[in-house]
Structure 1
């Protein structure tokens, strides 16, 4: 068996493998594009989903919509249930992903998301709508854990940073599409009140089914396979990828780096995961908390009340706010797209700290401009775009960071844990803190909201300046030694 020596039973066997080194030395190829398209495009659906619901809330509450629900229920209880579903789904599916594999779970989580979205489109009462908003969030939360772990383990170390950032940033392409789609859906000259909003959910289902077909061809993570007793399958999978890449490039691949010796295991318990995160890597745990909470509050400071600010302070009609949001969303996408490669070249620590600190400082400046009455709807949107250009790259790097700085056996659960913390902070604390501030019509209240978000982003950037890990170009196993390696070494 090429590259692997093994002995003993299925559990506790010690094996030596070159699989991680072989994956990391691969040049970019069509195989990698298949992974990006199959796994990454679901963030577009997430952005579409969240934005559409926020923008069509007013239509759902109107007489004749086919749903007896109020605007406040959609944006309040409905949003809270979506957040609760995302947090619980991340933790539940994150644990399953580390235990049963990446592929099984990224197929299951997308199926849950698709089924729940389809059922939302068929809503006939408020309780039905709320139930399937929770289940939609449940599927999306699981997606973050299963997909980010798979992407990091399949993409070569040279490209991991930029690919992860761009994929997470593609959420904003969906948000932009959702904003424009909601304008179309709200036009009663085109669709009846009880049909347009249903069709927007239906479109998400259609796009999701296309992604599901492509995703069926994305393989299991070979890294997960060899730790969980499937080393022969991991070797065969990598053999096939290498042949495919050599045929495409027309030249042999360079020799891989050093092999790794691990002791195979079946699963990791919650106690060991918690001990690993907080006892073995306390500074990295603090970093994860800071990054996720900082970006959550900055985004809530801007996006939670952007419509109210435009309407109350700049006399923009409520029907036109979707166009402004589409512009903001485009600025968000450009950040990871244009800055992503610098996370692999300039370095993680400089870029993570820099994007957080710069976006925080720019939001402070925006708050000052706003307090002085120097902005109109267009210039305010332009300021937000500049802030979020940097903030989006920083926020995407939060997902990259927690997915690569902890041991492989805990990766999906670590992503799930910090995602749940950030989502809860943004979806629960955010509305409580910012709803009154951004909708009061008082300039000082809106300025305070901006300053809170900017301050927490600045704190996170400062933490990153001290605690961020120089992970650029490094194998995942070098950034955080797998628990299995530690045990194998200790045993002999």
Structure 2
């Protein structure tokens, strides 16, 4: 009976197998390495402000230039993934930013370091939407959103690793930041595994007419399920296909055509506002704590504690996304982020700083998980990489702006004005999230 179903439907009806778990872990490790690299720059900014005597403006450019690269990488990485494959782009981007990060450890001046951070950003920006698209296209339909949120949870693992490196390596001596960047070369080696160990997207292979390869990939997943169980799943899938809502956009050629433009606009607004608030806050938190009079070591320890709250945020989002749905979960976590940002802006004691920071981590990173889950589901296979990549690329414009606007806003209105801006951006994102279609349980491809 399985031959009556398309390959995509055969993947959709499977339970979670060992190959699914290996795909999630393999993609997640790459995701965590990305997060570690992004997180490290926040600690290096604070350290170099002390060791090199950087001005707030110079520090801002060091934080922003990587996001310029990420904007370009996200946009063109998604387009490239639709042309040469998700797995290929995943491996290439790991190689690019791993080598550039390692080279950054040898930088002798701010100009060289900024140039290398731009190259790092290109690799980072291209990798993130490609990895989420790959996992989304393999995940069983019943837990597709949950698997993408679990992938996003590896971001917290990487950021925690960055916080630990910041607390124990960057602060070790004046050259600690160089050793921290040297550790960023790990993705270079991991790229070899990605190229050989992860499967290529079946949807991509079919779009390119590589049907024999696509069949081999699907069969390898089915081989891990008992044949009698497959028969039962086939019958259940046929029943589901008769009743399930679906979207037939297989002939779509642009993310801005009439049927898709509203969701594209809504997704871009969410990406922009979340990037503005997240990177404006978290890239600067270590430096803001130092400016408030805390020592470098103490501020890094606070940041590590705050970062740990990301993990339960992802866990709750992963559960709710299949219970409430994508849209409601995303909007709820964005509203929680808005309230937490206001709380952090008014926090003045060690206890309130930590509590407010933990709440901001919890809600903001839960929102990120839901956002990455909903993005690939909004588009059909031929433009899925382009859709997720373009949204991420547009969002990176905000991440470029965010570190640059922090110093003048702090000078003008202090922390209350700064985190009030971030809170307002989260509220706008929540409104935009409610305009997106709910995709839970829908059949995405024929």
**Common fold: TM-score over 0.5:** yes
Task: Pick one of 301, 325, 341 that aligns with 1:323.
Answer: 301
In structure 2, distance between residues paired with 1:264 and 1:469: 17
Deviation at 1:217, TM superposition (A): 1.2
Q: Which runs of 5+ in 1 are unaligned?
A: 5-16, 478-484, 486-492
SS of 1:316's equivalent in the other structure is coil
Determine which structure has the larger helix proportion and give its number.
2
Task: Pick one of 448, 455, 466 that aligns with 2:424.
Answer: 455
Task: Pick one of 211, 219, 222 that aligns with 1:242.
Answer: 222
In structure 1, distance between residues paired with 2:21 and 2:162: 25
1:203 aligns with 2:175: no
Deviation at 1:127, TM superposition (A): 4.1
Task: Pick one of 357, 361, 376 that aligns with 1:384.
Answer: 357
User: Which structure 2 residues correspond to residues 84-233 of structure 1 after superposition, within 5 A?
Assistant: 84-188=68-172, 193-194=174-175, 196-206=176-186, 208-210=188-190, 212-213=192-193, 216-233=196-213
Deviations 1:165-197 (A, max 9, x none): 122232222222212212222344xxx534x32
What corresponds to 1:435 in structure 2?
A: 407
What corresponds to 1:405 in structure 2?
A: 378
In structure 2, distance between residues paired with 1:250 and 1:382: 48
1:351 aligns with 2:358: no
Deviation at 1:359, TM superposition (A): 2.2
User: Which structure 2 residues correspond to residues 362-377 of structure 1 after superposition, within 5 A?
Assistant: 362-367=340-345, 369-370=346-347, 375-377=348-350
Q: Which has the larger radius of gyration?
A: 1
What corresponds to 1:490 in structure 2?
A: none
Deviation at 1:300, TM superposition (A): 4.0
In structure 1, distance between residues paired with 2:385 and 2:279: 25
What corresponds to 1:10 in structure 2?
A: none
Deviation at 1:220, TM superposition (A): 0.7
In structure 2, distance between residues paired with 1:130 and 1:86: 13
Deviations 1:198-226 (A, max 9, x none): 32222222365246425521111111111
Deviation at 1:348, TM superposition (A): 1.5
Deviations 1:279-331 (A, max 9, x none): 32232123202211221232245324423543454x32233111111112111
Task: Pick one of 464, 468, 471 that aligns with 2:436.
Answer: 468
Paired residues of 1:26 and 1:253 also in contact (CA < 8 A):
no
Q: Which runs of 5+ in 2 are unaligned?
A: none
SS of 1:137's equivalent in the other structure is helix
SS of 2:200's equivalent in the other structure is coil
Paired residues of 2:280 and 2:403 also in contact (CA < 8 A):
no
Paired residues of 1:161 and 1:341 also in contact (CA < 8 A):
no
What corresponds to 1:53 in structure 2?
A: 41
Paired residues of 1:60 and 1:71 also in contact (CA < 8 A):
no
Paired residues of 2:19 and 2:221 also in contact (CA < 8 A):
yes
Deviations 1:364-384 (A, max 9, x none): 3554x54xxxx4122122112
Moved over 6 A (4+): 262-265
Q: CA RMSD in A?
A: 3.1
Paired residues of 1:162 and 1:336 also in contact (CA < 8 A):
no
In structure 2, distance between residues paired with 1:289 and 1:263: 20
In structure 1, distance between residues paired with 2:88 and 2:384: 16
Paired residues of 1:402 and 1:415 also in contact (CA < 8 A):
yes
Paired residues of 2:145 and 2:374 also in contact (CA < 8 A):
no
